[in-house]
A = this chain, B = another copy of it.
Amino acid sequence: MEEKLVKFESAFSIDCVIFGFEAGELKILLIERKDNPFKDWLALPGDLVKNHEGIEESAERILYELTGLRDLHMEQFHTFGDVNRHPRGRIITVAYYALIRIDGQRELKPGNFAKKALWHSVNDLPKLAYDHTEIFKTGFTKLRRRLSYQPIAYELLPEKFTLTQLQQLYEAILNKKLDKRNFRKKMLSYGFLKELDEKQKNVSFRAAKLYKFDRRKYSKIFQNELGVDIDNP
């Protein structure tokens, strides 16, 4: 059963704050809108939720259509439902953030309602369409808070990375300088970083060791620490 008419009097949508990390900078993926309202503005990728899909599913679809990627780290973080947040009617939107590895080769498909999709540094964002600036800020704050108790950052790095890259990523998200020795000590103490027999290439200085995440160990440590409490009904 295909939908023809969007019920603007009462509908729900998904908006995604998609984080990536590139050249030492934290970025988000934005689209440039083709039409009114907010023609030519930058906006968060999003769509109306279809009748046959759950909201989680819808968020995954939006991400897949845009990036071709599935099974990303995604998290619902807030729902925005002010009466006038959307000029075309009463639409509440469920916001998710996602963490993805930026890959310059990958083609982004902005979809029918956008001219293009682009990565934009979080540090000098223009005003976004609708209430998307607020949504972004909320999502960024949630990500930051989350990172301070769960080391999810590796989702943003390439498979092999140096400790300096990891530290730069933390610094970009937490927005503060960290001490190199203490940072390394801490990260290595978790035990889910695996040192590789490989070094950085093509750098004109001492090459750093490469590491990768051991997902198995990571899960063991962090799943029961954060999931639904086992002792409760």
Contact = CB atoms under 8 A, between A and B. Distances in A.
A123 interface: yes
Interface string A11-32: 1100000000000000000000
A82 B124 CA distance: 36
Interface stretch (A35-43, A48-56, A185-193, A202-210): A48-56
For chain A, the bracket of interface size reads 35 or more
Contacts of A78: 76
Contacts of A11: 10
Interface stretch (A100-108, A136-144, A163-171): A136-144
B51 A79 contact: no
A90 B81 CA distance: 17
Interface in A206-233: 226, 228-229, 231-233
A137 B230 CA distance: 11
A90 B51 contact: yes
A72 interface: no
A70 B58 CA distance: 35
Nearest to A53: B83
A232 B140 contact: yes
Contact of A55 (B92, B122, B125): B92
Given A90-B51, A92-B12, A141 B229 contact: yes
Contacts of A90: 51
A228 B94 contact: no
A71 interface: no
Interface string A115-133: 0000000111100000000
Contacts of A140: 229, 232
Given A12-B81, A125-B233, 4 more contacts: A52-B83, A54-B81, A55-B79, A175-B229
